[in-house]
Amino acid sequence: MPVPEVATRLAPLTTLRLGGPARTVVAAPSAEAVVEAVRAADTSREPLLLLGGGSNVVIADEGWKGTVVRIASTGRAVEHGENGSVVLTVEAGEDWDGVVAACVADGLGGLECLSGIPGRTGATPVQNVGAYGVEIAELLVDVDLYDRGAGIVREHVPAEELGLGYRTSALKGRDDAIVLRVRLTLSTDATSAPIRYPELARALDVEPGSRVPAAAAREAVLELRRGKGMVLDATDHDTWSAGSFFTNPVVPEAEAPEGAPRWPAGPGLVKVPAAWLIEHSGFRRGHPGPGGRVALSDKHVLALTNRGDGTTADLLALASDVRRGVQERFGIELVPEPVLVGCRI
């Protein structure tokens, strides 16, 4: 059963600590409670916002004039698969890094490069979360969804039907299909996925393509993320962010800026680091936004941070300045990675 919450301020429920109030906030501690809360809102024609860990969302200062359902379902189960693999079923409200940590501790490999990413498990296929050369699309078997239009739960929807792409899916930007749980295939040899990302390979002192103990890969990833302010710390304003604010743009190879790092992204296409574009457009770490209330992280230019007393309007003004600067310098338009709720840049 959904549980009404007394506090309706949304800022404390997001990693940016930004966002105005909601009319109503309810916690849904199970998949059944999620469905019940959503059906109740739909029946009353109440505007509905789903919120997990609040790590990949920017909410307007005006807040949300409706109901917020906070997905808080928990639970994990393991079934043995084929060729020494297992299928891990995880409820949508499980803390993602907690899931990764538990898998590594249990000798399960595959998720370790996705360590330290904040948020809830149900958001991972929506965003096709990825980091350090691994993304959810490689591990996802299927999901259970609540289809709001049909009013039914759809079980075991195959990953192939979700339109998974670079930091996106057919679910992103939609509110008619709600992830209730996910299933992932993992190895049982306590060994990492192949280390593809050059920075991580250097940190581990191995050749790209090598496999290492999953625990070693996790610790190296966490250390790299801490150095970029990408591991949550309530006392460190550099982590008061939505993570990487812009995706790495994919452009025709002939249009990639001279000197920019690049990775293959399909026939004739390359992916260029948004951080490189931002830095080479004149924005440095710590670059301030309006009144210094928001700023680029002191550790990584790709994170836009709340310095403690910022507003969503401040953050979006800074994001607009950065995007405009890159557009003017390189002719490339950066695309925001977080979901923008009631606001835009």
Active site residues: 167, 244, 337
Distance CA 67, CA 46 (A): 7
* 192: Cβ contacts below 8 Å, ≥ 6 apart: 109, 110, 112, 113, 211, 212, 213, 214, 216, 217
Distance CA 232, CA 213 (A): 24
Residue-wise burial string across 4-27, b where 16 or more C-beta atoms lie within 10 A, e elsewhere: eeeebebbebbbbbbbbbbebbbb
Distance CA 116, CA 119 (A): 9
Q: At what angle do helices 214-227 and 96-105 cross, to 10 degrees?
A: 150
Both tokens assigned to 195 = 């280390």
Mode of pairing for the β-strands spanning 339-341 and 57-59: parallel
Question: Can you spell out the DSSP letters for 196-216?
Answer: --HHHHHHHT--TT---BHHH
CA torsion angle 185 148 336 141 (round to 10): 10
Among 224, 228, 248, 218, which residue's Cα sits nearest to residue 114? 218
| Three-class DSSP category at 255 | helix
8 A C-beta contact, residue 177 and residue 186 = no
